[in-house]
Structure 1
């Protein structure tokens, strides 16, 4: 795809868009240029009506994302001004994932650390290999963590586990991650890509307007009450009932066949 770069690979596989963080020599640590590429790739996926779901992954099989590229800290995060600019760029990348209207899945193998866990939390679903390792080492580095990132973790695992993850700064495995509710599924590492492709394909075969309306409503539900756009949530529901896909779904059910949804 035209938005692919050396370090950020975008490709299309039927209804699935794949965005891969490609820096395996550094366990897919994310550089400033990689952060900048994320909104561009997600925007291209959003415009493509054939793409129904997007999977985020890391190259090499040893890491999803091991965090930010610390080798850049001396240049990119050495003063209050550069820290603000770095956080702005990384924030735009995370916002592009959070605000993406279609379903997103983090396919996690190996290390999912710091900013990598932050990226995974921006996705709707997290599917992890048994060899996955998780941590937020901010307390070992003296880093401050913004409210938005902490809230995303609290929304997924609850306040007690969120405090444990930050307070201890320790690594934990996929079994603990599943117990915490941090990941949706844990599967053998050797079969994770096939599993995720099938899982994403199942989502991609369902009614997109229905799924996107559910995503919108769930996202509104996690906001503070005064910030919720309930009118937008209801409009998305109304659009489902007014769609040709609603007719197709009912007809296919009566005819005992698989529906062919067109997102309209």
Structure 2
């Protein structure tokens, strides 16, 4: 574990903290480099059922790439290619976590911070949050994969609006566009996020992860069952959790699922 990435545990919910509050959690190369390993450890930890991603402090989720590194890391196409590969690997790792991921967004969610938020399954924000994707203000080009994640959420014309303008979007408008899934007052954000995460922890985890997998396949363009999706669905009927779910329903009690 590094100083710029901190993991905290709250029961079966792990919180991964972007820990550079002195720079509004600006994303440096070290953060992007280390994210895949940290996420892999959390994904392989059977005691973790949900991962929450947040920024340290009260002012920012993440304010974007660390501009102080631009000269050293992005001053020409060769350096930029190496940098962009680290960013893509971090976003792929976050998107590829098998467990549900929630971005808990307070304050600024800008540039690279927006890229990480888009790679999460859900985005919960407070009313002070601001979302922006800013390549048009820097003379840069946003990646195709990150652009697709946004298009999947908001549609093509709204994605163009976000990219062409580079404007900071207030939380209420970001919710209307579909960039945020929930928006609440700042004092309520933590409770909303962890109440939802803990609810997910009580559900059948095979169902939770299969649901995520099925949605991802639909987003990727699959519209007809294949052998893999059919087997995944049919196999659930042979699990102890299915039997427990039926028993609990019949006995009018909460189920006690054990698959992890």
TM-based fold match above 0.5:
yes
Q: Flag structure 2 segments of 5+ consecutive residues without an equivalent.
A: none
Q: Report whether the alignment pairs 1:63 with 2:56.
A: no
Runs of 4+ in 1 over 4 A off after TM superposition: none
Q: 1:30 aligns with which of 21, 27, 40?
A: 27
In 1, Cα distance between the equivalents of 2:177 and 2:55?
23
Q: Mapping of 1:1-264 within 5 angstroms?
A: 4-225=1-222, 230-263=226-259
SS class of match (1:17): strand
Q: TM-score, normalised by structure 1?
A: 0.95
Taking only aligned residues, the RMSD between alpha carbons, in angstroms, comes to 1.5
Change (3 A) 1:28 1:194: same
Q: TM-score, normalised by structure 2?
A: 0.96
Change (3 A) 1:243 1:68: same
Q: How many residues align?
A: 260
Contact 1:58 1:108 (C-alpha < 8 Å) held by counterparts? yes
In 1, Cα distance between the equivalents of 2:17 and 2:178?
24
SS class of match (2:61): strand
Q: Flag structure 1 segments of 5+ consecutive residues without an equivalent.
A: none
In 2, Cα distance between the equivalents of 1:82 and 1:72?
11
Contact 1:220 1:229 (C-alpha < 8 Å) held by counterparts? no
**What is the CA distance between 1:235 and its match in structure 2?**
2.8
Contact 1:114 1:136 (C-alpha < 8 Å) held by counterparts? yes
